[in-house]
Amino acid sequence: MQLRQLGDVQVSAIGLGGMPMSIEGRPDEARRLATIHAALDAGVTLIDTADAYHLHADEVGHNESLIAKALKSYGSDASDVLVATKGGALRPGDGSWTLDGSPEHLREACEASLRRLGVDAIGLYQFHRPDPKVPYAESVGAIRDLLDAGKIRMAGISNADPDQIRQAQEVLGGRLASVQNQYSPAFVSSRPELDLCDELGIAFLPWSPLGGISGAAELGSKFAAFEKVAREHDVSPQRVCLAWMLATSPVVIPIPGSSRPETARDSAAAADLTLTADEQAALDEAVGVS
């Protein structure tokens, strides 16, 4: 597995997004655990989660607890796996998402995540989404305080624009390790944030890189250029998509979600797929980036 830099550690070039295993349509626990173990077997050492990845109001942190169980039950050493979680978003249990970026909530959320993950310090803790009710600097300041207190080893932000990235970097004293934004062939509007991370040397973690739970299966039919390259390499369009992202910049570390062992393995294999310059250019043109 190819490695990439995230803050002060190296992780697998392809991560695993845990959300599909804990929200609507989630599989049974046996398949959830098998999916995480398959990713680990394939060399994945970055797993992304959040306390809000759950279905019912009384199961906050469902995905964090699942990942902790999967790591504990894994048959081999998993000490090099970086678990990245997030705080600041909530799911009341009615299918909606709400926000609480207050420093008080972020401190409480971090403590709860520490307990569920069973660790003394969270590897990467990310502010989930800006809360318009709270000044951004105050929310990021709470993450800084957690970093200073040793509750978290690295700090990240998610769903941020370029100004917020720069502001977070300033508030954190130059210690911003990662930015997690939506980015896929169907959603390239985060390209300015990706380019800024490339300029600053900050890891960029595309979420829903294959188009999300509902769109991943249709990636090849929606984007003919990815289907064409996939046929030439005898691989899936999804694997081509992740390889395309990896070739965009060395700071890119996609975190495709999965709920089946076979898709986790296919995503991980993208790190071994090398595209030609012409193929990369054709894919860039197909989605409207350069």
Residues 38-51: b if buried by 16+ CB within 10 A, e if exposed: bbbebbbbbbbbbb
pLDDT one-digit tens code per residue, 109-125: 999 999 999 999 999 99
Residue 234 burial by CB count (10 A; 0-12/13-18/19+): exposed, middle or buried?
A: exposed
Pairing of strands 89-90, 98-99: antiparallel
Residues 39/45/49/51 CA torsion (nearest 10 deg): 120
Q: How far apart are CA 1 and CA 11, in angstroms?
A: 9
- Domains of the chain plus CATH, in order, are 3-219+248-272 (3.20.20.100)
Provide the annotated active-site residues: 53
Q: What is the spatial distance between Cα 121 and Cα 266, in angstroms, rounded to a whole number?
A: 31
pLDDT in tens, 116-155: 999 999 999 999 999 999 999 999 999 999 999 999 999 9
Quote the percentage of the chain above a pLDDT of 70.
100
Residue 129 · residue 156 · CB < 8 Å: no
**Sign of the C-alpha dihedral, residues 110, 260, 181, 53?**
negative
- 173-222 tens-digit pLDDT: 999 999 999 999 999 999 999 999 999 999 999 999 999 877 888 999 99
CA dihedral 42, 240, 216, 124 (to 10 degrees): 50
> What pLDDT shows up at residue 95?
84
* pLDDT at site 244: 97
What is this structure's pTM? 0.95
Structural tokens at position 107: 């401190």
pLDDT tier at 166, thresholds 50, 70, 90 = very high
Distance (Å, rounded) from C-alpha 148 to C-alpha 182?
28
Dist. CA 259–CA 213, nearest whole Å: 10
